[in-house]
Amino acid sequence: MSDTPELVAALAAIVGEEHVTTSLSELDRHGHDESAHETVLPDAVVFPATTEQVAGVVRVCNQRRVPMIPFGVGSSLEGNVTPLHGGVSIDLTRMNRIIAVRPEDLDATIEAGVTRRQLEARLREDGVFFSVDPGADATLGGMAATGASGTTAVRYGTMRENVLSLTVVTADGEIMRTRSRARKSSAGYDLTHLLIGSEGTLGVITELTVKLHPLPEATASAVVNFPTVRDAVEAATETIQMGLPVARIELLDEVTMHAVVLRSQLPMAERPTLFIDLHGSAASVQEHAAALGEVVAAHGAEGYEWTTDPTEAKRLWSARHQVYEATIALRPGCRGMPTDVCVPVSRLAECIEESRADLDRSGVFAPIVGHVGDGNFHLTIVVDPTSAEEVEAAEALHDRLVQRAIAMEGTCTGEHGVGSGKVRYLPIEHDAETMAMMRRIKDAMDPLGLMNPGKVLGPAVP
């Protein structure tokens, strides 16, 4: 962009010279996320420190008709933060203040650049926790923008259920707060949920008030092997249908277990496995463990043990948390192309089984992990980005997977968002009227189309 120096000067006037950069390494870091999606460089990266500075940055970009892309730590998986049309990457990581923690109200107010682990560390002293855990040490702002969830959603919900209020810079550089801090409100339209999952296309989230939960009195964790993936999925489905309040119930297929064992060196069997967590009082955890024991035994599980030792549990779960990196490491030089369908739980076993058969036929390498309590699972397709043939086969597999999930009344994305990677699936999932309504809302909230252009709905109709 020829007028970049002028743009940089205008941004510097807002945030200070040292907080705007056009260095190639920073442009590159802000030009992609953790997925295999292509890198496109922004023209500049700006690091505002306050909501007011973000508003100033947005006004500068607005005046110059420059695209704006909010950026956290770049841990998204669908190219959600890639500046497809250049412009300014608004890096929010300097906005990392924990403004207030209120254990008495079970809520906290934080800036958008606070990361999950940073918040977790701060909360521990108060005996409370924030439940949403997508694995990556993402920023809370990014998690809200993506509608993230992860392993604990089955019990505590996704970001949608755990955000009370947002402070947002609108596309024209105004600052708005979506709602009060009250637990319940029917005071006007639900702007909070409209912004959650909007991926920076409707405004920039700069501050969040999130719900907290009291630390459970007792926990128990188990790593349970099954003869087949279907057995594991059916055990998980039955657990949910019975209303057993598991805190997490995660599927890893045998290939994923192989990757995890390689990386973690933990002595675990390389078989289809459920990682299960229970939270509650000592008595209820014991009771639920017994009930779960019957369920998993009926599906062929054997030889597992519950641990109530937090250190041991953390070690087990750290293995689960390394799945993405561990899986990609199986094919050095390759990149991840994670899929993210979610179906009603009654269709889950069938959907996974059909997908597995499809996978085997296609020759694509893609271990399966799943937040099976919610009906959400990922094929982590590992592709050699230099092989056009592999990429094409992977994309065809993904297309078939999405078609299959939608035919089962599911969705193309349970938690990763649309980014640019799933733009083509949205009109398959939603009817034309729904798409038109989303477009109308986008046009109303971002009339110039400068907020993370090309994402979620894709290019505006010309």
Q: Does 67 bind a copy of itself (CB under 8 A)?
A: no
* Among the listed residues 42, 128, 23, 132, the one whose alpha carbon sits nearest the alpha carbon of residue 90: 42
Nearer residue to a copy of itself within complex by CB, 84 or 128: 128
Quick check: 158 binds a copy of itself (CB under 8 A)?
yes
- Which among 204, 186, 187 has a CA at the least distance from the CA of 195? 204
Here's the x/- map for a copy of itself, 311-340, by CB under 8 A: it reads as: -----------------------------x
At residue 121, what are phi and psi to the nearest 5 degrees?
Answer: -65, -40
Which residues does 353 contact at the CB level (< 8 Å), separation at least 6?
Answer: 229, 230
Q: Which is nearer to a copy of itself, 326 or 457 (CB)?
A: 457
From 51, 139, 149, 256, residue interacting with a copy of itself (rule: CB under 8 A): 149
Give a three-class secondary structure readout of 32-81. CCCCCCCCCCCCEEECCCCHHHHHHHHHHHHHCCCCEEEECCCCCCCCCC
Q: How many other CB atoms are found less than 10 A from the CB of residue 126? A: 15
Give yes or no for residue 241 binding a copy of itself (CB under 8 A): yes
Q: Is 32 in the site for a copy of itself (CB under 8 A)?
A: no
By CB under 8 A, what part of segment 210-229 binds a copy of itself? 213-214
Q: Which is nearer to a copy of itself, 327 or 413 (CB)?
A: 413
> Which residue in this structure is represented by tokens 């309040």?
245
**Number of residues engaging a copy of itself in binding (CB under 8 A):** 95
Query: Considering beta carbons, is residue 85 or 102 the nearer one to a copy of itself?
Result: 102
Contact between 353 and a copy of itself per CB under 8 A = no
> Scanning residues 100 to 139, which ones bind a copy of itself (CB under 8 A)?
102-107
Tokens at residue 436, please? 């038109």
Least spacing, CB of residue 272 vs a copy of itself, in Å = 22
- DSSP one-letter code for 409: T
Q: Could you tell me which of 338, 396, 340 has the C-alpha nearest to residue 363? A: 396
- Read off the DSSP letter of residue 9: H
Q: Position of tokens 């809302």? A: 441
Which of residues 284, 307, 322, 362 is near a copy of itself by CB under 8 A? 284
Residue closer to a copy of itself (CB basis): 105 or 353: 105
Q: Which of 249, 377, 429, 452 binds a copy of itself (CB under 8 A)?
A: 429
Between CA 447 and CA 109 the distance in angstroms is 30
Candidates 273, 415, 420, 454; binder of a copy of itself (CB under 8 A) is: 415
Q: Which is nearer to a copy of itself, 253 or 415 (CB)?
A: 415
Give strand ranges (E) for 212-316: 213-214, 218-225, 246-252, 273-280, 306-307
Q: Which is nearer to a copy of itself, 104 or 125 (CB)?
A: 104
378 contacts a copy of itself (rule: CB under 8 A): no
Nearest in space to 166 (alpha carbons), one of 150, 181, 178: 178
**141 binds a copy of itself, rule: CB under 8 A:** no
Length of the chain: 462
- Of the pair 41, 69, the CB lying nearest a copy of itself is at 69
Q: Which stretch binds a copy of itself (CB under 8 A): 10-18, 86-94, 353-361, 429-437?
A: 429-437
Nearer to a copy of itself, 287 or 358 (CB): 287
Contact range with a copy of itself by CB under 8 A, out of 46-54, 152-160, 227-235, 382-390: 152-160
9 Cβ neighbours under 8 A, 6+ residues apart: none
Q: Is 66 in the site for a copy of itself (CB under 8 A)?
A: no
Q: Is the CB of 57 or the CB of 319 nearer to a copy of itself?
A: 57
Q: How far is the CB of 141 from a copy of itself (least distance, A)?
A: 15
Q: Does an H or E element contain 107, and which?
A: strand 107-111
Residue 438 sits in the site that holds a copy of itself (CB under 8 A): yes
Contact status: 412 vs a copy of itself (CB under 8 A): yes
The answer to whether the CB of 201 falls within 8 A of the CB of 68 is no
Site residues (CB under 8 A) for a copy of itself, limited to 166-205:
170, 174-194, 196-198, 202
The smaller minimum CB distance to a copy of itself, of residues 8 and 164, is found at 164
DSSP string, 231-260: HHHHHHHHHHHTT--EEEEEEE-HHHHHHH
Residue type present at position 112: A
430 binds a copy of itself (CB under 8 A): yes
Q: Near a copy of itself by CB under 8 A, which window of 43-51, 58-66, 89-97, 426-434?
A: 426-434
Q: How far is the CB of 380 from a copy of itself (least distance, A)?
A: 17
Cβ burial, residue 265 (10 Å; 0-12/13-18/19+): exposed
